[in-house]
Amino acid sequence: MLGGDLVAVWEVALSDGVYRIEFAHGTTTGKRVVYINGQVDGKSLQKFTHDRAQTSKTWLLKVDGEDCRVVLEKDTMDVWCNGQKMDTMGEFVDDGTETYFMVGEHECCIKATSSGKKKSGIVHYLLLDGEKIPASTQ
């Protein structure tokens, strides 16, 4: 380990591969470090999180009492729910695209439409049984 005592390790599957996240906590220094695949390329966690936010969109929702984390990978349009890649069906509509998938017995749809502004580009909405779900800030 590069420094400190390894406290936890997670393997996180993202569209571009599996990331190994390691959390180290120095018992003498109190320093906390997060390593991604053994390093963070000198980036802070905030920078890594910001970069991920540019390429993905996340929603946190409850489905039948279960917490679900739905992630859209914007570059590939892959949809993940709690780390599982979902089977999706996409179609073009007048104002953009709609990507359909099921969570349990519930129909979900991610709508991608133009924001009409160059800077923000495409806006993505998640609908669960037709109800709009607010996006997560995480």
pLDDT for residue 15? 64
Sorted by where each begins, the domain ranges of the chain are: 5-42, 56-133
pLDDT for residue 83? 85
User: For the CA atoms of 14, 122, 42, 49, what is the dihedral angle to 10 degrees?
Assistant: -60
Q: Does domain 56-133 have CATH number 3.20.20.70?
A: no
Position of tokens 């590069």?
Answer: 2
- The amino acid present at 108, given as its one-letter code, is C
Nearest residue to 58 via CA among 68, 72, 48, 45 = 72
pTM of full prediction above 0.75:
no
Q: In this predicted model, what pLDDT tens digit does every residue of 36-68 receive, in sequence order?
A: 877 776 666 677 777 877 889 999 999 999 999
Q: Do domains 5-42 and 56-133 have the same CATH topology?
A: yes
**Topology (CATH) of 5-42:** Lipocalin (2.40.128)
Nearest residue to 124 via CA among 22, 56, 65, 68 = 56
Contacts with 89 (C-beta within 8 Å, 6 or more apart), sequence order:
99, 100, 101
Residue predicted with more confidence, 133 or 119? 133
